Chains A and B, each alone.
Chain A
Amino acid sequence: MSEALFFQEMTEEQKYGQFMKRINAGEKIEADDWMPEDYRMTLIKLISMHGISEIMGALPEKEWVPKAPSLKRKLGIMAKVQDEMGHGQLLLRVAEDLMKPLGKSREDIMQDLFSGRLKFHNVFHMEAPTWGDAGLIGWLVDGAAIITQTNMLNASYGPYARALKRICAEEVFHAQHGEAIIMALAEGTDEQRAMVQDAVNRWWEALLMFFGPGDASTTGTSKQDTTIKYRIRTKTNEDLRQDFFTKYIPRVLSLGLTLPDESMHFDQERELWVYKQPDWNRFKDIIKNNGPKSQERLGLRRTAYDTNKWVREALNTAN
């Protein structure tokens, strides 16, 4: 009690000092704790983007849920995409708690998505024209997600760290589901093998972009310094991209697949993968909802949202 009173008498600066001390000591910040405004805003941006990406991420795979080529695959992909929606729900709940003091709600998140203020992940703006893409999304996109999310498992914000713990456990299953699809295709007919190679070629640049630009000089802004300062994450975008290469390049090659980047190699001296940079201007354009499927997928979401307006209204009446 006396501690609480003492805290109320502190200046903003003292509160900030104590906050930094707490997170540097590895303590978790909870939803009702005092937090600096830019910490709150950074988390809202990060977590609502993560949450809405999980939800928009259901759409590229959505095509392949009814089309999956066997009962086993149908069941597998149904379970997988359902998990993604569940992650979205979990994360939006975390974001909603952070937004509450600002008087904002789920409705604002949806409206921000539709207006383009809230961005979703670059990979979910891309096309997924074959069953090979469905496998590749599970294998490499979810594989990349595991790498970025594992980097935040010890995030200073407790509710996010706990949500990520559960999400990462499920993502491991998704990556296995994707890998199983890819393995079956890679060991299959010529046509099936071509399907996988085609998907790798198509997704390669998007996968490089997945981790974000190396630093602010590439795209003008980068939140990574803030998130590192506040102990939300530990590694930089480039560290994560390198981790991804180390984990997946040998696997891609072992399936007899090639990478659409001839310059790609491991520099033994610098202990770094050397690769061709993706087109970061294109990246900026994609996340501004100008990717190949951005408008179609937003349109689908928006139409569903409008079509179901009567249901939400009815639920409000009932409550």
Chain B
Amino acid sequence: MKRIMAVTLAALLASGILPAGDWPSRTINLTVPYGAGGTTDLTARSIANGMAKVLGVNINVINTPGAGGSAGSLNVQNARLDGYTLLANGMLAFATMPLNGYTEKTFREWDIWIATYAPNGIIVPADSPYNTITDLINAIKANPGQITAGTAGAGSGGHFGAEVIKAIAGADYKHITYQGGGPAVTATLAGEVDFCPQLLAEYKDLVIAGKVKALAVLSESDIEIAPGKVIPTILKSYPDAKKFIPMGEVTGILVPKGLPEDILSKLDAAFSSAAREKDFLDFAAVRSFAVMPMGRAESQKFLETFAGRAAYILYDAKAVTIDPAQYGFKRP
């Protein structure tokens, strides 16, 4: 009996096939192409909650991890375009997807609402000899290819951070990759790598507790993570790095272009209200995310610069072989 009940339940969960009417008349599925509980997932859920209130229907978050977020993004790209399947994704991986050869569609063929920005933070183990970002960069200059950086892998947020450091130092680092941001942070705690350039949000508490030292953030201004605890922007020591900054993950809601304008304007309204919800702002504050809601037109404009910067960082690091120019990405 228990088995039968569970099967019925599973079948109900799996089927989203209900009659359609005036949009939205049924539950909207929001695909998160990463696991539950990650940065993208939490941001998506927080935004979805606010949007659901305005739209008056449930928004069901579906996690489809795999292939660095591409599997889920492609699912949404290939799904029926009826406004009931949305995507939430980080723009670093999303915008560079064509360069991996997964798809030929760029961000220009999607309607995008950007919600948050989370900067990279450069940290070193608590007992590291480096106390400032200048110490670290001088060490990389003095020992090219010897200083180890632990990241979540090629194309991850941390990889972008490390490449910015490399560009500033003008010398290479040794890239040590882990199966995700968590293991990379653990390795930094254990002292296996010299520095970790992942997103600041991933180790904010470790910095506050003094388990690791934060040297700089790759945002345009300093960030105060706790009263009196300020992490300087890298621009303070290296103003020339301006063209790479801000670097970090930008997260938003996406849907392939082609929806009727009345559905899009309902999404516009729902998004802008959700981005002002207190719960969402609180969530962003705890994680040190900057809330910078952008509408569809503004997001496209932002992404032209951002995607170009991200694409060329990957291309120059030889992490991808397809030339970004092929898709009209502009070199910063």
Asked if chains A and B come from one complex, the reply is: no
Residues of A within 8 A of B (CB): none
Residues of B within 8 A of A (CB): none
